[in-house]
Amino acid sequence: MRGFIKQCVRLALWCSLMPLMLASSAHAVVLEGVGHANIHDDDLASARAEARNAAMRDLALQYEAQVSTSDTMENGVLTESRMRLASSARARNVKVIDEHRSGNLLRVTVRGDISAGKASCDGGEAGRLKKRIAVTGFPLLYPDQARVGRIDDAGEILPQLLQQDLRETGNLQVFSTTSTHLFSDLLNAPTVQQGGNRLTNVIQVAREMGVQFVVAGVIRDVGVADPAAWGSSVLDKMKRGIGASDMRRRFVVDMVVLDGFSGSPVYQQRFETAADWNAGPGSAAGFGSEGFRKTHYGEAVAGVIGDMAQATTEALACQPFMTRITRVDGQLVTLASGATAGLRPGDELNLYRSARYFDSLGGTPELSDSQMKVTLNNVHPDFSNGRMPQVGGQVNIQRDDIAIIW
């Protein structure tokens, strides 16, 4: 058979196995960290944030970290001292479990699940490439809960903040489509298939945006623990003032990362936290407002969004790099990715035939290995050209087939 072995790869199966491989290699431990901060000018919020960050550093140090110091001396006098903490630790589900003030000193104790911060797999050649990802809107399951603080814009602001954190990693090309909502049934979302056994619109969104992955989700809970605590009566205000009211507010969000070629989920996780909603009436209007960020709740939500970005980056680190074939002319092949993705002249990509069977269960695309490779010789910012050993028509390689670097 000329040594030719046809390999059929179902993306749905591959994508479902990869999260299990990641999960099996990640071992988390529960640790507590303690941080201190001085309170200046009675600014408790700033001291609390500083103490929390110090507690987080303490968590990292307990798990696995390297500390280096840099001192600046002038005329034999120490004028500046800096400490750099480099840790491979990743913190999840971090909660403040204790806070104690003694004069102008604030002590904060946090508890979190700590695990290795880097993906445990070998990213291979794909590890140096920037995969394209689009972030959609995160609609509110219960919009009425957003009335307190007027944070009804959370569905659009949260993905914008998530995009910022994802871009800061430098490992992904991030695109925004926050006005797009993938799920019509928010209660049972995420779902990846529409009625009538048709492919989900994830594939359509990915194709329109030119991305490999799509991030979507639902904000399930932004409710306050005790709605009566926010009354306007004199008694309600007095109870808040003396700390007799339960001012906690919940934040629960479901996030899913979907493969743009198959619509299959690559990563799925629920993130949640709770903290005091200590904003005055009308002072924290808007999910991303300055007043919102200064609340204990806003600080906790920012930490959750950071966890979401980190989890997304690590989940995709073990995925192959995939891009569409946009044109085939004889032996010449044009791909939909280029230098911005990290491709370079001389790179070799494996070519896979793509077939979609809309009458099959789930309508999942099926890839078959053509045993052909394309070698790039001309790389532009957003597309690239290369040559394969045979004419496309002879090996049935055509537009919308897939090129992969593992």
Q: Does the domain spanning 321-405 belong to CATH 2.40.10.410? A: yes
> Can you give the pLDDT at residue 4?
36
> Can you give the pLDDT at residue 244?
64
Q: Are 211 and 134 in contact (CB under 8 A)?
A: yes
* Fold match flag (127-319 vs 321-405): no
Q: Does the domain spanning 27-117 belong to CATH 3.30.1660? A: yes
Domain boundaries, the chain: 27-117, 127-319, 321-405
Mean pLDDT, 10 residues at a time, over the chain (406 residues)? 38 39 51 86 82 76 49 49 45 81 90 64 78 96 92 95 92 92 83 45 90 96 84 69 78 94 88 87 76 90 93 90 96 97 96 72 70 96 97 93 94
77 C-beta neighbours (distance < 10 Å), count: 7
> Can you give the pLDDT at residue 95?
81
For residues 115 and 307, what is the distance between their CA atoms, to the nearest angstrom? Answer: 12
For 182, phi then psi, to 5°, come to -80, -25
SS3 letters across the chain: CCCCCCCEEEHHHHHHHHHHHHHHHCCCEEEEEEEEEECCCCCHHHHHHHHHHHHHHHHHHHHCEEEEEEEEEECCEEEEEEEEEEECEEEEEEEEEEEEEECCEEEEEEEEEEEECCCCCCCHHHHHCCEEEEEECCCECCHHHHHCCCCCCHHHHHHHHHHHHHHHHCCEEEEEECCCCCCCCCCCCCCCECHHHCECHHHHHHHHHCCCEEEEEEEEECCECCHHHHCCCHHHHHHHHCCCCCCEEEEEEEEEEEECCCCCEEEEEEEEEEEECCCCCCCCCCCCCHHHHHCHHHHHHHHHHHHHHHHHHHHHHCCCEEEEEEEEECCEEEECCCHHHCCCCCCEEEEEEEECCCCCHHHCCEEEEEEEEEEEEEECCCCEEEECCCCHHHHCCCCCCEEEEC
Residue with tokens 């680190």: 317
Q: Does the domain spanning 127-319 belong to CATH 3.40.50.10610? A: yes
Nearest to residue 182, comparing CAs of 165, 198, 202? 202
Residue with tokens 């200064």: 294
